[in-house]
Structure 1
Amino acid sequence: MTTENKNIVQRALTELVGTGDVDALAPLLTDDFVHHRPDSTSSTKAEWLAAVRAALIPLAGMQVEIQHVLADGDHVVMYSRRWLPGAEPGIAVVDIWRLDDGLIAEAWEIIEPVARATEHLTWWEPAAH
């Protein structure tokens, strides 16, 4: 099951990045799919697919390099680097996916601009004024 879940997540990302076809994602998501953001907001399946669709135009040509895909039971974690041509170093992304009966039921996403990674190592320190 763990390998199957990893394959489902990788297929979803490959479909999206490779074809730009957001509609190809829809059948891989449960009807009650929820996407969670670090700011505690979440979106439904329809809202998330609409947001992904809207992002495709400005992100056309985005390169995705999957660094790690780990699975444990019904969860898959993927770490990737993403960038636009000529816009290195790009972003580092951690996606956490929960699968239910072969479909993606929940997703969490954390995005960090690679150029700001060093300053984020001391996030607790007061900002210099």
Structure 2
Amino acid sequence: MTDMTAAHNNKDLVLRGFAEFAAGNIEVLRTLLREDFIEHSPDNPSGRDAFVEFIATASVARAELDLKRIVADDEYVVVHYHMHTPEDERGTAVVDIWRLVDGQIVEHWDVVQCVPDPSRIPNGMF
């Protein structure tokens, strides 16, 4: 498999998983994440089962997720999206970085930023 093919396949896998998760299917993570999944975000657990149970109670599981862009490079897929709830209309800008091996996610990093008042971002957040 060439690097471009791996990147394309990984991007498709994450895109399909993101769409299912955004539609409310949290269990899709059990098929996407490898059992020994490594999490790099503060206070989030590593390990597939512990991570899925944690995410099921996290705000992201109840939020609307509006995908803005997805970028893939070999084993890494980067997803940039707007996460918001009715209680938090401005919401949060999120960038997830996923590393995949053999069709499963093995590692995750993220960057999370509250969306400020529009007057502070004249060029837009997304």
Q: Percent identical across equivalent pairs?
A: 31
Mapped contact 1:35–1:45 kept (Cα < 8 A): no
- 2:40 is matched with 36
Paired amino acid for 2:33: L
1:84 partnered with 2:88: no
Distance 1:30 1:59, change over 3 A: closer
Cα distance in 1 for partners of 2:67, 2:58 equals 20
Q: Which runs of 4+ in 1 moved over 4 A?
A: none
Q: Deviations over 1:32-82 (max 9, x none)?
A: 111211x486522122101111126x853x221111111111001111111
Count of equivalent residues? 114
Paired amino acid for 1:32: D
- Secondary structure at the aligned position of 1:22 is classed as coil
Distance 1:54 1:42, change over 3 A: closer
Which protein shows a greater Rg?
A: 1
- 1:10 is matched with 15
Cα distance in 2 for partners of 1:41, 1:16 equals 18
Mapped contact 2:36–2:46 kept (Cα < 8 A): no
TM-score under structure 2 length normalisation: 0.79
Structure 2 unaligned spans of 5+:
1-5, 121-126
